[in-house]
Structure 1
Amino acid sequence: MLLLAVIWGLSIPVTKLGLLTMPPLTLTALRFAIAVPLLMLLIVGGRRLPWRALPHVAALGVLGIGIGQVAQTFGVAGTSASVGTIISATIPVFIVIFAALRLKQAVSGWQQLGLLAAFAGIALVALGHGEGAAGLFESSVAGAACVLLSALTIAFYYVWSVELTDKYGTTTVAAWSTLFGFIALLPWAAWEMWHVPIQVTAQALWAAAYLGLVVTVAGLFLWLSILRTVPARIAAGVQYLQPVIGIAASSVMFGDQMGALFVVGVVLILGGLALTMTSRRKADQAP
């Protein structure tokens, strides 16, 4: 879980590097253009996907990439970093809710308190990153709504993937869902390439390679494996650590300043994670 948080957390500053010379949807499309062939190569000679499962896996990919990634791209463009970070931090909350509804995973009062503490920590981390409340006035309602839509779809994508990987295998579901999501993304990227000048640089290609190989391929396999062996309420904690790692890396790479609120926020996040992961140990062992 910690390794995955580092991988996904570093994707934020790496994406910033790529976006310096390449528009967002084009960079996202290039990312999946790198990831999809590798994923499809991994399933050659392996477990086949039944025809009856194709609509479900395709819908999973369209939901997570075609809708979730596109909504996130447009949402970030219409919000400040603080507001976007806070809204995106609702992903773990939605994961726990969806897991309780679909996977029947119980959530105790202490775990709810832990989630709230971690969410409050995310808010302080964002405010302590130098933008403060001023960011609220730089965000549009449409931008905030897009980020929230992205959080909802990505959370449901994570929970739904547990059911499908249990039936059809992690590698198979990861490869085919990513392929269909990439296909759904292509029209958006084509529209952007038609209207926005594109400059292909070594920096953008390096960023796309990291996002495609490490974040998408390695990260996706790690995440799906975690979800198959760890309850979603615990796995959701990975999402809370990402902004901390991402902002810390941005501070090193871009010279961003971190204030006292950032430190307090990190403490709240770690404390909330501890409550979320340890509060039901006895209850889990009893059955």
Structure 2
Amino acid sequence: MTKLGLESLPPLTLTAMRFAVAVPLLLIFAVGRHPLPRHAWPRVAMLGVLGIGIGQVAQTFGVAGTSASVGTIISATIPVFIVFFAALRLKQQVSGWQKLGLLAAFAGIALVAFAREHGAAMLSDTTAGGAICVLLSALAIAFYYVWSVELTTAYGTATVAAWSTLFGFVALLPWAAWEMWHVPFHVTTQGVSAAVYLGVIVTVAGLFMWLKLLRIVPARVAASVQFIQPVFGIAAASFMFGDRVGPSFVVGVALVLVGLALTMVSRNEVGNRA
């Protein structure tokens, strides 16, 4: 959907439209819930700037500057970074089996991403700047998710999601306004529809589910679910843009599912089986 939106809208403009849709909806959910104390504003504001001003903006520029294959495989590092940051910040342990699961799923994503026809042509569409933007986005988004756990536990998922998104959106507006002034573009039904979809489904629904998931399960489990995203993403690209998939795609999906199973095995289960 981001690719579709970028066909008629420049990156910052598309991102700003996306969050212009999302912010009012998030604020509606936050009204009447846990108030956000003033001493928490700086942390939540920094969270929003990290997640939107860096993570989402870098992702949009990265999508514009990479092929679907390269963008997918770099974005697939988000779960690995989530587990890594959670181990450092939240002191969540990762067993050997779970590490093996992460590697298997990552290998599956690599196979799914690169084992497609016309791979050379796909790779030629990628710039170094685009790849760096996607990697920067993966780091920022992973840290956003892990950092949000403490804040959502203290102030509630709806409150943190709404206010962090608002702060990030406000920080983004000057840059988007500059782009709108200097970069010619045409507002199309396709572009607006992409922005609405990204705002409602990906940002509002997706953010609530992610923050809730990170509060009730260990980060390694939440991260493992993220591995499914590239599988569906490439399948959707095949349907929408005519990208071909073959037997390697099936093998890659199998590796991802095996990786999910291993990653979600708890240390106690491994001990019991032994």
Tell me the TM-score normalised to structure 2 length: 0.93
CA distance in 1, matches of 2:229, 2:181: 33
Higher mean C-alpha displacement, 211-220 vs 134-143? 134-143
CA distance in 1, matches of 2:2, 2:127: 22
Residue 186 of structure 1 is matched in structure 2 by: 173
1:1-287 matches, within 5 Å, as 14-132=1-119, 135-136=122-123, 138-282=125-269
Higher mean C-alpha displacement, 200-209 vs 274-283? 274-283
CA change 1:180–1:93 in 2 (3 A) is same
CA distance in 2, matches of 1:138, 1:284: 47
| Runs of at least 4 residues off by over 4 Å | 133-138
**CA apart distance, 1:249:** 1.6
CA distance in 1, matches of 2:106, 2:118: 18
CA change 1:281–1:254 in 2 (3 A) is farther
**CA apart distance, 1:280:** 2.8
CA change 1:128–1:40 in 2 (3 A) is same
Residues 11-52 of structure 1 deviation map (CA, whole Å, 9 limit, x = unaligned) = xxx222222222222111111001101111222222110111
Residues 227-249 of structure 1 deviation map (CA, whole Å, 9 limit, x = unaligned) = 11111001001221111111112
CA distance in 2, matches of 1:284, 1:169: 35
**CA apart distance, 1:283:** 6.7
Contact 2:11-2:64 at 8 Å conserved across structures: no
Residues 140-168 of structure 1 deviation map (CA, whole Å, 9 limit, x = unaligned) = 33322222111111100000011110111
Aligned residue type for 2:157: T
Contact 1:63-1:153 at 8 Å conserved across structures: yes
Aligned residue type for 2:11: P
Residues 61-99 of structure 1 deviation map (CA, whole Å, 9 limit, x = unaligned) = 000100111222222333332222111111100000000
Which segments of 5 or more consecutive residues in structure 2 lack a partner in the other structure?
none
Which segments of 5 or more consecutive residues in structure 1 lack a partner in the other structure?
1-13
CA change 1:248–1:281 in 2 (3 A) is farther
Higher mean C-alpha displacement, 134-143 vs 174-183? 134-143
CA distance in 1, matches of 2:56, 2:149: 19
Task: Say what the alpha-carbon RMSD is for the aligned residues.
Answer: 1.8
How many residues are treated as equivalent by the alignment? 272
Aligned residue type for 1:263: V
Contact 1:251-1:258 at 8 Å conserved across structures: yes
**CA apart distance, 1:261:** 1.8
CA change 1:87–1:240 in 2 (3 A) is same
**CA apart distance, 1:265:** 0.9
Aligned residue type for 1:223: W
Contact 1:18-1:203 at 8 Å conserved across structures: yes
Residues 183-236 of structure 1 deviation map (CA, whole Å, 9 limit, x = unaligned) = 122122222212222222222222211111111111111111111111100100
CA change 1:139–1:15 in 2 (3 A) is closer
Of all paired residues, the percent bearing the same amino acid is 74
CA change 1:142–1:250 in 2 (3 A) is closer
